[in-house]
Amino acid sequence: MDLSKAQFEELIEEMLRRLDEDPQRPGLLKTPHRVAASLRWLTRGCCLDADKVLREAMFEEPHESMVLVRDIELYSMCEHHMLPFFGVAHVAYLPNGRIVGLSKMARVVDIFARRLQVQERLTDQIAEALQAALEPAGVGVVIEAYHLCMMMRGVEKQHSKTVTSALRGAFRDDPRTRDEFLRLVQGGYSLR
């Protein structure tokens, strides 16, 4: 269903009424517009192509050692409750004749995070996108996130963190590569 901007705002206004709110009170007058714009922004990733983003910034390079971008901030929306979850992604790959611009790894995280999502799928989608575009010797993705659906409602556990991983190729099959990746993700090496 493709809704016009006005129709989307009308739905949000109706939602406010069903929550026993008065959409005409001063504090809520512009809320339908703001919520519609916010939801479009927060779910914009479904209109973006991760493969295209990666392929536009690939370079032939004989580098064979692990490339890791740690602590990529991510913000997403739980598809079950439409509440935010947020945290960091650690994304690595073992080049196989090709590298990609580092910022594109963060862009891929955003593309998949900015949609209604579950963390498990998000982790796999990032790994699969890198695997498909770069055809590396391996890919590793770890996501650590806090879910407001667990913190604000339901069990109300304020300090629970969810950790998911997706390992492909050497990251899955070679214990030494997997251990190096996990050690680096956990901060085993520091420039400080």
Q: What is the set of active-site residues?
A: 78-81, 119, 147, 149
E strand or H helix at 35:
helix 31-42
CA distances for 49 relative to 8, 10, 186, angstroms: 25, 30, 30
Measured in whole angstroms, the distance separating CA 156 from the mean position of its chain's CA atoms is 23
Amino acid at 160: S
Whether residue 143 contacts residue 122, with contact meaning beta carbons closer than 8 Å, is answered with yes
Chain centre distance of CA 81: 17
- With 0-12 / 13-18 / 19 or more C-beta atoms within 10 angstroms meaning exposed / middle / buried, residue 159 is exposed
Q: What is the CA radius of gyration of the chain?
A: 20
CB 155 within 8 A of CB 124: no
